Structure 1
């Protein structure tokens, strides 16, 4: 049996991580991030903008010592979603990009996604996770459904037509009980020292 992943969350650093993330967001599979033509400087500027925003955070997820994914956490009422749905206390938004694997492993993306949701729900203030993926992104739409997200309706955002979806703590707990992939049902999560949600 292969070793199960242990993920560590570190705040994304515009200087330290821009070149790495540039190599991710400019690949074809990351087209829904809208940065295929971005330069390393563009990525650095985007990370700096997020770091300066009190309502938005970017986290780099590590599998051991290997960078594995980028996760953004944001407050919907201070985002393009403001006014498009009735935000509730405890709502938090999320974006996720899994890095290109050296050797694909079955169930790995599910394990990453589950760890991200566990990380977000580890804050007692978070009651519901809000996502707004591009309606053409069928892979993430399927993953959202498997992890407990309930589609609400299509919405128009400045850069896409999106499917607004919500996942409550209860829906996530129920979804994890039905996961059949061994890798996706056991993950360990650590937050780097000094980092805060």
Structure 2
């Protein structure tokens, strides 16, 4: 499965993203009660932030997932762990669908990780999903993430996990 990435346009993509982040399957995104203008504002703020970026993942030209990358030394995890040079933080959300395709979400996270590791400066990807999101913990393991410990963020109890490029390559067979 081949995916392409493009930057989120908060004005153009706001309505689409609103439908994704407020969907019941996106409960761990914590935007269930967001209004369209809240989502647009959130992605305008990301677009203006030098340490946080949002991308749409496209399959056959259609948006099918959202990926955010951030610098954990400046966003999300400041003071919660000791960042290393080459660390990049990541969030991803697969669009809700009435016709799920077996293996699709795994293909998405594999593409997201490969995309992040295309940057030679990236040595390790950091994630902090909700401790209750068991499905994403299992998915993360399939691409090489290793949980380190639980941390308390302002909005949730999270499982801090890391994936090096070597672990990713070993887990997926994708050369990076």
Task: State the TM-score, normalizing by the size of structure 2.
Answer: 0.97
Alignment correspondent of 2:28:
32
Give the secondary-structure state (helix, strand or coil) at the position aligned to 2:119.
coil
Equivalenced residues, count: 174
CA apart distance, 1:176: 0.5
Task: Report whether the alignment pairs 1:98 with 2:94.
Answer: yes
Alignment correspondent of 1:41:
37
CA apart distance, 1:102: 4.2
Whole-Å separation in 2 of the counterparts to 1:50 and 1:137: 24
What runs of 5+ residues in structure 2 fail to find an aligned partner?
none
Whole-Å separation in 1 of the counterparts to 2:114 and 2:132: 26
Give the secondary-structure state (helix, strand or coil) at the position aligned to 2:3.
strand
Task: Report whether the alignment pairs 1:151 with 2:147.
Answer: yes
Give the secondary-structure state (helix, strand or coil) at the position aligned to 1:77.
coil
CA apart distance, 1:50: 0.1
Task: Report whether the alignment pairs 1:7 with 2:3.
Answer: yes
CA apart distance, 1:143: 0.3
Alignment correspondent of 2:115:
119
Alignment correspondent of 1:61:
57
Whole-Å separation in 1 of the counterparts to 2:25 and 2:122: 30
Alignment correspondent of 2:48:
52
Q: Select the structure with the greater relative contact order (CA < 8 A; seq sep ≥ 6).
A: 1
What do the CA deviations read for 1:70-117 (whole angstroms, capped 9, x no partner)? 000000011131121111000000000000124211101000000000
Moved over 6 A (4+): none
What runs of 5+ residues in structure 1 fail to find an aligned partner?
178-184, 186-197
Give the secondary-structure state (helix, strand or coil) at the position aligned to 1:21.
helix
Alignment correspondent of 2:77:
81
